[in-house]
Amino acid sequence: MDNSQAQSLNIFKRFSFWSPFSFVTISVLLAGIFMLVMPNMQVAFIVGGIALLVFSVAGVVSLIGEQAAGRRNWIISTVAIAVIGVALLALNEPAYRAQISYAESHNNYSVAVNGLVNLGYKPPFSKTLATAYLNWGISLVNAHNYSAGIQELLYTENNFPTLPQAAQAKNTIPQAMLSYAEYAYAHGDAITAGQQYTSLIENFSSYPAAATALSEGAPAILGEANAYAQKNYYQESYNAYAVLLKYFGKSSEAAQSESLAPQVLLTWAQKLIASQNYGPASQEYQVLAAQFPSTPQGKQAATFLANGVSVTGQLVLASGKPLPAYVNVRLSSQWTAPSSAGGSYQTSGQQYYADTNANGYFKFLDIPPGKYLLEWRSTQGYYNTLLNGTTFSLIITVDPVAPTYLPVITVPSFS
């Protein structure tokens, strides 16, 4: 191959500006731009190194057709670019670690933690990662970002259980919660303050922060309870009042809870009844009657529970035809099973009566809670029920507050 053919292979010869100096300048400039747009220094060094190695190919091509003096300059430029590229590839991890250290020193722990994870650090045995999470939590708390800080401290405690950083996080959490409670209450957030004080008292009782919570937390917890009541969050409101009654003895806040808690329970129970949510309503009425019996609301609940509810049902024959009107139906609170199949049984105790209408429907009013045996009266004047051998099939359970609607009862025969 003569010199003219070699020069034709050098595609860069057509550019008048192309020289070893411009080659180095352009290569370094482009690699720098690529590195600047990368997400972190590790990726930046890798991309920059690969770019420079690719660009060094241009230097090799530029050697073609050059005279000895020019070839020497191109060789030096190309080798320099390649060496820099290799150096960048070799230094990518140290550079990334430097970036992580810089982030930590400037309290940018989210970047530091993500960097460490990318480098392969992971729970539960990495002291480096545990330290980063611990410092992250402490930094957030110091910046009054208490909720996020406590979450990071909890993460440290739960995910690095055998490391000293976990113990340090565990010991830091109560004081962070106390600071959170005090900060929230000072800024008018009684709900958050009350939650933090309550958690300290119930979950960190052996820590000094819990003792402080017991000495200063009552106003915040009372504010929490009242705030929940205003929002109609009755369960949360009552829970807060209950904390005051349980832990704050003869304090003025506990005294207020004595009168406010029953009213919250009663309002809650009444709203549950209005929405036909009878199961929870029954529970709240029973709590109110049992725990606050001397209050007006407790007495009202006891009376309500004692008054009973309605029991509705329908009696039909096997043909589907209803029993005639005015068939007497009875609920008995006590009964004795027959000793053998087909034998007689006895009923006693409190008994309640109702009559069927023309469609076989009957309805008892104000039946107290409990279990009852349902019977109907024949035209001969005696009462019958459904028996399976010696086992009764019509034992009815009456809820304290929920109206009872019985499924259709099929009577084998009626005379």
Give the side-chain half-sphere CA count within 13 A for 294: 2
Centre a 10 Å sphere on the Cβ of residue 118 and count the other Cβ atoms it contains: 14
* Domain-embedded: residue 64: yes
Domains in the chain, number: 2
State which of 94, 115, 147 marks the end of a domain.
94
Q: What are phi and psi of 35, to 5 degrees?
A: -70, -35
* Domain-embedded: residue 200: no
CA 331 to CA 313: how far, in whole Å? 12
Nearest to 333 by CA among 360, 351, 357, 353: 351
Q: Is the distance from CB of 150 to CB of 115 less than 8 angstroms?
A: no
8-state DSSP, 38 = S
pLDDT tens-digit readout, 334-347 = 999 998 887 889 99
* Domain-embedded: residue 370: yes
* Domain-embedded: residue 9: yes
Give the structural domain span for 318: 310-411
All residues at 6 or more sequence positions from 394 whose CB lies less than 8 Å from its CB, including other chains: 373, 374, 375, 385, 386, 409
All residues at 6 or more sequence positions from 178 whose CB lies less than 8 Å from its CB, including other chains: 196, 200, 209, 212, 213
Q: Is the distance from CB of 285 to CB of 316 less than 8 angstroms?
A: no
* Domain-embedded: residue 176: no
pLDDT tens-digit readout, 124-161 = 999 999 999 999 999 999 999 999 999 999 999 999 99
pLDDT tens-digit readout, 262-306 = 999 999 999 998 998 988 898 999 999 999 999 999 999 999 888
* Domain-embedded: residue 103: no
SS3 of residue 384 by DSSP: strand
8-state DSSP, 375 = E
State which of 37, 72, 94 marks the end of a domain.
94
Going 360 to 366 to 369 to 370, the CA torsion angle's sign is negative
pLDDT value, residue 2:
47
Q: Is the distance from CB of 374 to CB of 331 less than 8 angstroms?
A: yes
CA 81 to CA 100: how far, in whole Å? 27
* Domain-embedded: residue 284: no
* pTM to 2 decimal places: 0.68
State which of 94, 111, 132 marks the end of a domain.
94
Going 346 to 383 to 367 to 398, the CA torsion angle's sign is positive
The average pLDDT across 342-367 equals 93
Which pair of structure tokens corresponds to residue 58? 């241009």
* Domain-embedded: residue 328: yes
CATH number where 365 lies? 2.60.40.10
CB contact burial 88-106 (16+ within 10 A = b; e otherwise):
bbebbeebbeebbeebbee
